[in-house]
Amino acid sequence: MPVGYDRALARIELARPRGALQLTSEAAVCIVHYMVNYRGRQLDRTFAALVDGTRRAILARLEREDSATVSELAKPFAIKLPAVMKHLDVLYDAGLISRSKAGRVVTVRIQPEPMREAMDWLRRYERFWSKSFDRLAAFAESKERAATKKRR
C-alpha cells in the first residue's frame, strides 16, 4: 500500500458521520490515491525537464528531425559531451526521449506522450490566463494607436 494510506483512511473515517454508508471501498481510495500521485510525478518530471534551455533546444531539434545521434545533438552546444549526456538522462527519465544503441552509436528520438499530458494539464487552466492575454493585447493595440496618432 502507498505511504500515508492508513492516515488517509483514518481521515476519511473521521469525516464520515456515524452510521453513514460507506460509498467507496478502501481499495478504490488506494487506486485513486496512486493515480493522482503517478500523474503528478509524471507532470513534475516533464516540467522539470523543460525548465532548462539546453533540454528545450534538444527537444526542438528532435522535433524537426526524426532522430539524431548523441554526437549530432552535442555539436551546436558550447558544453562538453558528458554535460549533454546528463541533459539527455533527464529527458529520458521524464519519458520525453527514447534511446537506441547500434554498436557505439546512440540514437535519440522524441517521445511526444508526456508533452501531450502536460499540454492537456495546461489547457485546463487556459481560461484563467486567456482573458488576461486578451486584455493585454487590447491595451497594447490602444497604446500603438495613440502613438501613431501623435506621430501624425
Instruction: Look up the domain containing 13 and give its range.
Output: 1-50
Residue 11 included in any domain: yes
Determine the angle formed by the axes of helices 81-93 and 53-64, rounding to 10 degrees.
80
Residue 131 included in any domain: no
Domain count, the chain: 1
Per-residue pLDDT of the chain (152 residues; tens, 9 = 90+): 454 545 554 555 455 555 555 555 555 444 444 444 556 799 999 999 999 999 999 999 999 998 999 999 999 999 999 999 999 999 999 999 999 999 999 999 999 999 999 999 999 888 777 778 888 888 899 988 888 888 77
Taking the whole predicted model, whether its pTM rises above 0.75 is answered as no
107 contact partners, CB below 8 Å, separation of at least 6: 67, 68, 69, 99, 100, 101
